[in-house]
Chain A
Amino acid sequence: MENNESKLVAMQKERGPLLEVKNLAIDFTTDDKRAVHAVRDASFSVYPGQWVAIVGESGSGKSTSAMSVLGLLPGTGHVVGGSIKLNGQELVGLKQKDFDKLRGSAMGLVPQDPMSNLNPVWRIGTQVKEALKANNMDVAHEKRSALATALAGDEVKLNDSDDETFIGSTELPALLEAAKAAIAEAGLTGETAERSMAYFTEEWVPGSETRWRVADDLIKAGVNADKAWAIAKSHVTGSTMDDRIAGLLSEAGLPDAATRARQFPHEFSGGMRQRALIAIGLACRPDLLIADEPTSALDVTVQKKILDHLHMLTDSLGTAVLFITHDLGLAAERAQHIVVMYKGQVVESGPSLEVLQHPQHPYTKRLVAAAPSLASHRIISAKERGQDANALLEHRVVGEDKLEHSDAIIEVSHLTREFKLPRKKEMFKAVDDVSFSVKRGSTLAIVGESGSGKSTVANMVLKLLDPTDGTVTYEGQNISEFKGKRLLDFRRHVQPVFQNPYGSLDPMYSIFRSIEEPLRIHGIGDKKSRVARVSELLDMVELPKSVMQRYPNELSGGQRQRIAIARAMALDPDVIVCDEAVSALDVLVQDQVLRLLNDLQAEKNLSYLFITHDLAVVRQIADEVVVMQHGKLVEHATTDEVFDHPKMQYTRDLLDAIPGGKLQLGLD
Chain B
Amino acid sequence: MTDMTTLPGQERYVAPLDETPLQDVDNVDESAPASSLWTDAWRTLRRNPLFIVSGLLIMFIVIVALFPTLFTKQDPNYCVLENSLGKPSPGHPFGFDFQGCDVYTRVVYGTRTSLSVGLAATILVVLIGTLIGALAGFFGGWLDSLLSRVTDIFLALPILLGAIVVLQMFKTNGSIWKIVLVMALFGWTSTARIARGAVLETKNLEFNTASTALGSSPSRNLFRHILPNSLAPIIVIGTTSLATYIVLEATLSFLGVGLPTTTVSWGGDISEAQTNLMTNPMVLFYPSAALAITVLSFIMMGDAMKDALDPKSRTA
Q: Point out residues on A near B: beta carbons under 8 Å.
A: 5-6, 9, 12-13, 16-17, 20, 31, 45, 47, 50, 337, 342-343, 345-351, 353-355, 360-363, 366, 462, 464, 487-488, 491-492, 494-496, 498-500, 503-508, 510, 517-518, 521-522, 543-544, 546-547, 549-551, 553-556, 558-559, 564, 567, 571, 588-589, 591-592
Could you tell me if A517 and B11 are in contact, using CB atoms closer than 8 angstroms?
no
Could you tell me if A505 and B216 are in contact, using CB atoms closer than 8 angstroms?
no
Could you tell me if B9 and A20 are in contact, using CB atoms closer than 8 angstroms?
yes
Q: Inside 8 A of A345's CB, which chain B residues have their CB?
A: 15, 19-20
Residue of B10, B207, B212 touching A350 (CB-CB under 8 A): B10
Residue of B4, B28, B209 touching A464 (CB-CB under 8 A): B209
Could you tell me if B211 and A517 are in contact, using CB atoms closer than 8 angstroms?
yes
Q: Inside 8 A of A464's CB, which chain B residues have their CB?
A: 209, 212-213
B278 at the A interface (CB under 8 A): no
Q: Inside 8 A of A522's CB, which chain B residues have their CB?
A: 215
A-B contact pairs, 14 of them (CB 8 A): A6-B4, A31-B47, A45-B7, A343-B23, A348-B14, A464-B209, A495-B213, A496-B209, A504-B206, A506-B211, A551-B36, A553-B40, A554-B32, A589-B25
Cβ distance A227 to chain B, nearest Cβ, rounded Å: 43
A47-B7, A500-B206, A551-B34 as given contacts; A361 in contact with B14, CB under 8 Å: yes
A354-B12, A507-B229 as given contacts; A555 in contact with B28, CB under 8 Å: yes
A351-B6, A492-B215 as given contacts; A498 in contact with B15, CB under 8 Å: no
Interface size on B, residues (CB 8 A): 44
User: Residue on A with the closest CB to B214?
Assistant: A518
Could you tell me if B17 and A491 are in contact, using CB atoms closer than 8 angstroms?
no
Residue of B10, B206, B214 touching A45 (CB-CB under 8 A): B10
CB-defined interface of B21-48 with A at 8 Å, one 1/0 digit per residue? Answer: 0110110101010111100100000010
CB-defined interface of B173-214 with A at 8 Å, one 1/0 digit per residue? Answer: 000000000000000000000000000000001110111111
Q: Inside 8 A of A554's CB, which chain B residues have their CB?
A: 32, 34-35
Query: CA–CA, A12 to B7, complex, Å?
Result: 8
Q: Inside 8 A of B5's CB, which chain A residues have their CB?
A: 5-6, 9, 351
B158 at the A interface (CB under 8 A): no
A492-B215, A500-B206, A517-B214 as given contacts; A17 in contact with B14, CB under 8 Å: no
Q: Inside 8 A of A504's CB, which chain B residues have their CB?
A: 206-207, 210
Closest 8 CB pairs of A and B: A350-B12, A491-B215, A503-B206, A504-B206, A506-B207, A558-B26, A45-B9, A518-B214
Query: CA–CA, A50 to B30, complex, Å?
Result: 44
Query: CA–CA, A354 to B14, complex, Å?
Result: 12
Q: Inside 8 A of A6's CB, which chain B residues have their CB?
A: 4-5
Could you tell me if A350 and B13 are in contact, using CB atoms closer than 8 angstroms?
yes
A345-B20, A351-B1, A508-B36 as given contacts; A567 in contact with B9, CB under 8 Å: no
B8 at the A interface (CB under 8 A): yes
Q: Inside 8 A of B47's CB, which chain A residues have their CB?
A: 31
Cβ distance B8 to chain A, nearest Cβ, rounded Å: 7
User: Residue on B with the closest CB to A521?
Assistant: B215
Which residues B48-103 have CB closer than 8 A to chain A?
none
Could you tell me if A546 and B30 are in contact, using CB atoms closer than 8 angstroms?
yes
Q: Inside 8 A of A362's CB, which chain B residues have their CB?
A: 17, 22
Q: Inside 8 A of B40's CB, which chain A residues have their CB?
A: 553
Cβ distance A40 to chain B, nearest Cβ, rounded Å: 9
Q: Inside 8 A of B36's CB, which chain A residues have their CB?
A: 508, 510, 551
Could you tell me if B12 and A559 are in contact, using CB atoms closer than 8 angstroms?
no
Q: Inside 8 A of A507's CB, which chain B residues have their CB?
A: 37, 229
Could you tell me if B34 and A508 are in contact, using CB atoms closer than 8 angstroms?
no
Q: Inside 8 A of A588's CB, which chain B residues have their CB?
A: 25-26
Could you tell me if A491 and B214 are in contact, using CB atoms closer than 8 angstroms?
yes
Could you tell me if A589 and B214 are in contact, using CB atoms closer than 8 angstroms?
no
User: Residue on B with the closest CB to A502?
Assistant: B206
Residue of B25, B207, B228 touching A592 (CB-CB under 8 A): B25
Residue of A17, A355, A518, A564 touching B9 (CB-CB under 8 A): A17
Interface of A is mostly: mixed
Q: Inside 8 A of B209's CB, which chain A residues have their CB?
A: 464, 496, 498
Query: CA–CA, A558 to B24, complex, Å?
Result: 13
Q: Inside 8 A of B15's CB, which chain A residues have their CB?
A: 345-348, 361
Q: Inside 8 A of B22's CB, which chain A residues have their CB?
A: 342, 362-363, 366
Cβ distance B179 to chain A, nearest Cβ, rounded Å: 36
Query: CA–CA, A571 to B212, complex, Å?
Result: 14
Cβ distance B3 to chain A, nearest Cβ, rounded Å: 10
Q: Inside 8 A of A517's CB, which chain B residues have their CB?
A: 211, 214, 216
Q: Inside 8 A of B228's CB, which chain A residues have their CB?
A: 508
User: Residue on A with the closest CB to B229?
Assistant: A508
Cβ distance A459 to chain B, nearest Cβ, rounded Å: 8
User: Residue on A with the closest CB to B11?
Assistant: A350
Could you tell me if B7 and A559 are in contact, using CB atoms closer than 8 angstroms?
no
Q: Inside 8 A of A12's CB, which chain B residues have their CB?
A: 7
Residue of B11, B12, B34, B215 touching A549 (CB-CB under 8 A): B34
Query: CA–CA, A189 to B253, complex, Å?
Result: 97
Could you tell me if A505 and B20 are in contact, using CB atoms closer than 8 angstroms?
no
Could you tell me if A348 and B13 are in contact, using CB atoms closer than 8 angstroms?
yes
- Select the residue from B12, B205, B206 with max chain A CB neighbours within 10 A: B206
A350-B10, A507-B37, A508-B229 as given contacts; A9 in contact with B4, CB under 8 Å: yes
Q: Inside 8 A of A503's CB, which chain B residues have their CB?
A: 205-207
Query: CA–CA, A455 to B67, complex, Å?
Result: 62
Could you tell me if B216 and A347 are in contact, using CB atoms closer than 8 angstroms?
no
Query: CA–CA, A50 to B205, complex, Å?
Result: 44
Cβ distance B305 to chain A, nearest Cβ, rounded Å: 17
Query: CA–CA, A50 to B4, complex, Å?
Result: 15
Cβ distance A4 to chain B, nearest Cβ, rounded Å: 13
Could you tell me if B215 and A488 are in contact, using CB atoms closer than 8 angstroms?
yes
Cβ distance A6 to chain B, nearest Cβ, rounded Å: 7
A347-B14, A462-B213 as given contacts; A506 in contact with B229, CB under 8 Å: yes
Cβ distance B41 to chain A, nearest Cβ, rounded Å: 11
Residue of B1, B13, B37, B206 touching A551 (CB-CB under 8 A): B37
Query: CA–CA, A521 to B13, complex, Å?
Result: 56
Q: Inside 8 A of B34's CB, which chain A residues have their CB?
A: 549-551, 554
Could you tell me if A363 and B12 are in contact, using CB atoms closer than 8 angstroms?
no
Residue of A343, A488, A498, A510 touching B20 (CB-CB under 8 A): A343
- Select the residue from A6, A498, A517, A559 with max chain B CB neighbours within 10 A: A517
